[in-house]
Structure 1
Amino acid sequence: MEQPFLTIAQATKFELIIKKSRFICALQRVETEEEAQAFIKTVQTANRKATHNCFAYLVGDHDQVQRESDNGEPSGTAGIPILESLQLAKLHNVVAVVTRYFGGIKLGAGGLIRAYSNVTTKAVHQAGIVQRVKQLRLQITVSYRQHDALVYYLKEQHLTLAGEEYGVNVTTNVFVNEGDATNIMTNLQNRFNDQLIIKKAGSHFHEVPYQP
């Protein structure tokens, strides 16, 4: 079974202070490696006085591109923990840059790994996670007399309305998951005694909140 495509719901920043060092994780969605590199450069430019700007990113539906950098921290103590935090959340198409302002107290290798991992994980939680699902748009044509009953039924079934068109009859658009389309169409016709005209009107990707 194919794994769901997950990414962050929104860009965000999260800060932790650990033994006087500031760790600031900036998260951003990206579609290409060029976008990831541009975001990293933007964060580095905004934090020129920082001790380190470490990063990791995953790009592609199957994470075809994966990069990480310790940016001067001891090898394996920053970039990899950031990357593994993104992987643990099963995210795709996301870049994380963790900026560190050194506070004068050394953390040791274990402390650094925990710090970079924790701030990234907390940033992911703050950003939220969405799942990308492929959905069909159904056009449901119904008489004005039955329109209110249709809308009530759709909301009862937790189906997302996507606009309506008014003419001789009412055409209500609704998004449904591709795998559920046949059953939903059958249930609609049964519920309304085959008095609906239902057409498939193309598909698109839709994002829904995800709770692991």
Structure 2
Amino acid sequence: MGEIKDKYKTIAAPSEGIYKEKGSKFISYAYPVYSEDEIKEHVRKLKDEFYDARHHCFAWQLGTDGLRYRANDDGEPSGTAGKPIYGQLRSMELTNILVVVVRYFGGTKLGVPGLIRAYKEATIDAIANADIIEKTVDDLYSVKFDYLVMNDIMKIVKDENLIIANQKFDLSCELEFSIRQSEVQKVLHRFEKVDSVKCEYLRTQ
């Protein structure tokens, strides 16, 4: 089995950038994102806010396998906007990120090379103003167990530095916690050695 790729780079918080050329303004916005719904919402808000701009071009990437991405030229000549934005996300190895570049036309056409450069530079500026961080891909699990084995369970939680997301203690207890993907097998193996324990995968986050 190959090594699990469970680390990735993204940005810590939204950031902005700008590039100006021959009267045209390219205002760029970068966002950390985790779903396509979130992406659509950011794009919609920017289109509402900059309703008088000529183009709202964007690119995004989600996940660590490089398969979930999109580049959108929003009316610019094909390959001159979304692709250069996406190219920067790839070259900086960023994921779970959306960059939208809002263009105000200045009256002078920039031509294909000029547009590619403008969208690329606007993207670089937004990312340069962001704080790039490294995160791990974590799986959320639920563990159900009898109250009697609580100490055994809490010892594993402490040993493995698990982050508890939710807990319910009664006669039968339940914990929800996240485990870094590369550690999942080892941690689940420890839990399954304890009597009465049931582990269930919930989702990846």
Aligned Cα root-mean-square deviation (Å): 2.2
In 1, are the aligned partners of 2:16 and 2:125 still within 8 Å (CA)? no
- Amino acid corresponding to residue 84 of structure 1 in structure 2: G
Q: Which residue matches 1:62?
A: 65
1:63 Cα deviation from its structure 2 partner: 3.3
Structure 1 residues not aligned, in runs of 5+: 136-197, 207-212
- 1:134 Cα offset (Å): 7.2
For 1:83, give the aligned amino acid: Y
Q: TM-score, normalised by structure 1?
A: 0.63
- The alignment's TM-score, normalised by the length of structure 2, stands at 0.65
Residue 205 and residue 128 in structure 1: after superposition, are their counterparts in 2 closer, same or farther (change >3 A)? farther
1:18 aligns with 2:18: no
Matched, 1:202 2:202: no
The structure-2 alpha-carbon separation of the partners of 1:55 and 1:134, relative to structure 1 and needing over 3 Å to count, comes to closer
Q: What amino acid sits opposite 2:66 in the alignment? A: D
SS at match of 1:91: coil
Choose from 38, 41, 44 the match for 2:44.
41
How far apart are the structure 2 equivalents of 1:3 and 1:35?
22
Aligned to 2:97: 94
Tell me if structure 2 keeps the 8 A contact 1:33–1:65. no
- Aligned residue-pair number: 144
**SS where residue 118 of structure 1 aligns?**
helix
2-structure distance, mates of 1:97, 1:200: 39
2:107 — aligned with what?
A: 104
Q: Percent identity?
A: 35
Q: Which residue among 123, 135, 151 is the counterpart of 1:132?
A: 135
Instruction: Say if 2:13 and 2:130, in contact at 8 Å, map to a contact too.
Output: yes
Q: Render the CA deviation track for 1:21-67: whole Å, top value 9, x for unaligned.
A: 11000111111111111111111111110011101111123233211
The aligned counterpart of 2:85 is: 82
Structure 2 stretches of 5 or more lacking a match?
A: 139-157, 164-177, 181-205
Contact kept? 2:17, 2:28, Cα under 8 Å: yes
Q: Flag the 1:3–1:23 CA change in 2: closer, same or farther, 3 A.
A: same
Larger gyration radius, structure 1 or structure 2: 1
Q: Residues 123-177 of structure 1, C-alpha deviation per residue, up to 9 Å, x if partnerless?
A: 1111121001479xxxxxxxxxxxxxxxxxxxxxxxxxxxxxxxxxxxxxxxxxx
Partner of 1:116: 119
C-alpha spacing 1:9/1:205, structure 2 compared with 1 (3 Å): farther
Distance (whole Å) between structure 1 residues aligned to residue 42 and residue 25 of structure 2: 20
Q: Which amino acid aligns with 1:110?
A: P
| Contact map agreement 1:32 1:60 (CA 8 A) in 2 | no
The amino acid that maps onto 2:39 is A
**How far apart, in 2, do the equivalents of 1:103 and 1:34 lie?**
32
Take 2:114 and 2:179, find their aligned partners in 1: how far apart are those partners? Answer: 41
